A and B are shown apart, each in its own frame.
Chain A
Amino acid sequence: MNLLEVRDLYANAGDKPILKGLTLTIAAGEVHAMMGPNGSGKSTLSHVLAGKPGYTVTSGEVLFDGKDLLAMEAQERACAGLFLAFQYPVEIPGVSNMEFLRTAADARARALGAEPPAAVDLMRRLRAISSELGMNPDFLKRGVNEGFSGGEKKRNEILQMSYLEPRLAILDETDSGLDIDALRIVGEGVTRYLQTHPDSSVLLITHYQRLLDHIVPDVVHVLANGSIVESGDRSLALKLEARGYAWLDAG
């Protein structure tokens, strides 16, 4: 079953056309990698899908689990099961990670008509996930991303993903700023999540193939000038790593 269907999507960032006829289908349980040179539209795609202000869809449609994603507010998309791991997670001093995630979990439970999680369960679960990701549980008391290193911020994004259990996680250059060990820990965290949530899907946005050593994609796409110009299996990422993007222009 298709979880995400992007059909002939055109979108502007401000006034500037960025996405130009992008079509993408991700089935439940699949891992897709989106690669491409700087300025090709990778982050714009993630922002448009997540509903970030400042972007305008000029034509095309996006279905998420058969529903019109573009008609939803950003928080409705999140409650429906879409998660964006930010390339540059913001710092929110004065709001602890615990409080932030409790609020998010409560909002999601309300949207789904479910009971909000008990505080003790939330704490227990977050401690377990933070341990898996090699994070000191004390960070849960600290302000969201406040004073975190780049790597800690990215791990925090994966922790949030693991706790909120999305159906589709978009990881926007999660590998940037990570050292080798952190990259492995994050990769293992995502893989573990996929193993325990076999119907969930991941869209990995990345410049490099190194993250794909840890999270093996089913499909690799190359985005250039706002549309997908090539798709293939993991060998496509290896080819890009070896030859760069210039050969795509040459046909």
Chain B
Amino acid sequence: MRTGESPPSWMEPALGETLRALVRTPASSALAREHWKYTRVEKITELLDSSTVVLGCELEGDAQAGVTIVRDVLPDAHELNLLSTRSTYCPATAKVLLNVHGIDRLVIGQNLAEPLVILRSDVHRPLLVTILPGVSASIHDLSSSATGWLIIEQQPDSHLDFTRLHTRAANTRWHQLQLVLNRHASLTMQHYCTGATFSRQDIFVALVGAGSSIDVQGCWSANARDHLDQQWHVEHHAPHTRSSQVQHGIADGRAVTTYRGRIFIGKNCPAVDASLMNRNLTLCATAVCNTKPELEINTDDVRCSHGATVGQLSEESIFYFQSRGVDRESARKMLAAGFINQCLRGALADSARLEMLGTSSE
């Protein structure tokens, strides 16, 4: 199917199957029930129903040396396995979907001079990025589309500096992200997003190669009647792997935010080091923050820590500002900004601050 076209009628059964499979998913297992605890899966199927036009991805920086892209191709067996193994779709559904729509295949074969920027992604035709061994790259995912499906496979000894900034450009959103790290691959990730009327992020990280590591700093803000549900799965499938997450979220108005951080450590994975900290700030009594760190550990000899907090602005801190002449409302704004600032870093920190707080710099 060519970009921009609606699916032909012969595809309808496959799409229908996809949607039905999604609807069935919550009841299929305890894990799946948890996955859909705070978002009705019907919201996803409605979103898919309303956006069946396949557009593929839109990129910047894909013409630079070292980047090769082939659009609208059927995945090979390895890619199909990669795409369907860890996904919100059940594997069979993913395979059907991928064989219908194909993928956009992008390979980064040498160190990039400038970041590869993703401006739009598409859940119907995923973008699969492969970073070849030893290559260092930077990717900015600024996708403004309602849906997205991005898979990044890092081959051995590669390094990725990955920043996601998802704003409320699309007021209804569902994005899937899968990250697969092979031997000694390292990933530094900045994850920033704002709420939306409906927003769901499904993020799967698989550390499949020994010595691979991921370091995540993330923050988000939601207000009004936003719904922001983030499901993070970090899976350690190899020894000597390391994951670190520090994520801060703010909820105001009648927003409901959910962060589920699942860490899985497989069998025979000694010397794994995994940590997770999620702090949440509710700016008023009507905002809701759900947070649930989960650990599933199947190997002894690992170090694993997690923590989660939900709190309000400290009156003591507000008074400290007031005692220096700053009014209460300004103090609240600065304290909220400080909470977010703790998780901002890298090239897009200012943009993220602007999106989340309405202020551009410290």
Contacts and interface: CB of A to CB of B under 8 A. Distances in A.
Q: Tell whether A pairs with B.
A: yes
Interface of A: 50-53, 73-75, 78-79, 83-84, 86, 89-90, 92-96, 99-101, 103-104, 107-108, 111, 143-144, 160, 164
Nearest to B315: A53
Contacts of A84: 323
9 contacts: A52-B323, A74-B319, A86-B323, A92-B317, A94-B339, A95-B337, A100-B324, A101-B324, A103-B324
Nearest to A170: B323
A52 B316 CA distance: 9
B177 interface: no
Contacts of A78: 322-325
A51 B324 contact: no
B12 interface: no
Contacts of A144: 320
A93 B342 contact: yes
Interface residues of B, number: 24
Which residue of A92, A99, A108 has the most chain B CB atoms within 10 A of its CB atom?
A92
A95 B330 CA distance: 13
Interface in B297-352: 314-317, 319-328, 330, 334-335, 337-342
B311 to A, nearest CB: 13
Contacts of A83: 323-324
Contact of B316 (A51, A73, A90, A164): A90
Contacts of A73: 322, 327-328
A103 B326 contact: yes
Query: Main secondary structure on chain B at its contact with chain A?
Result: helix
Contacts of B76: none
Contacts of A108: 325
Interface of B: 314-317, 319-328, 330, 334-335, 337-342, 362
A89 B341 CA distance: 21
Given A90-B314, A90-B317, A103-B330, A74 B338 contact: no
A86 B320 CA distance: 9
Given A53-B319, A74-B319, A103-B330, A92 B335 contact: yes
A108 B327 CA distance: 10
Contacts of B330: 103, 107
Given A90-B317, A94-B341, A95-B341, A74 B323 contact: yes
Which residue of B321, B339, B362 has the most chain A CB atoms within 10 A of its CB atom?
B321
B325 to A, nearest CB: 4
Given A52-B319, A93-B338, A94-B340, 5 more contacts: A84-B323, A90-B314, A103-B326, A103-B334, A107-B324
A94 B325 contact: no
Given A53-B315, A53-B319, A94-B341, A107 B326 contact: yes
Contacts of A160: 324
A164 B325 contact: yes
Given A53-B315, A95-B338, A107-B330, A89 B324 contact: no
Which residue of B316, B320, B339 has the most chain A CB atoms within 10 A of its CB atom?
B320
Nearest to B331: A75
Contact of B338 (A50, A52, A75, A92): A92
A213 to B, nearest CB: 27
A105 B351 CA distance: 26
Contacts of A94: 337-342
B322 A90 contact: no
Contacts of A101: 324
Contacts of A107: 324-327, 330
Contacts of A95: 334-335, 337-338, 341
Contacts of A89: 320
B243 to A, nearest CB: 23
Contacts of A86: 320, 323
Closest 10 pairs between A and B when the two form their complex, measured CB to CB: A94-B338, A94-B341, A74-B322, A104-B324, A95-B338, A78-B325, A107-B325, A94-B342, A75-B322, A108-B325
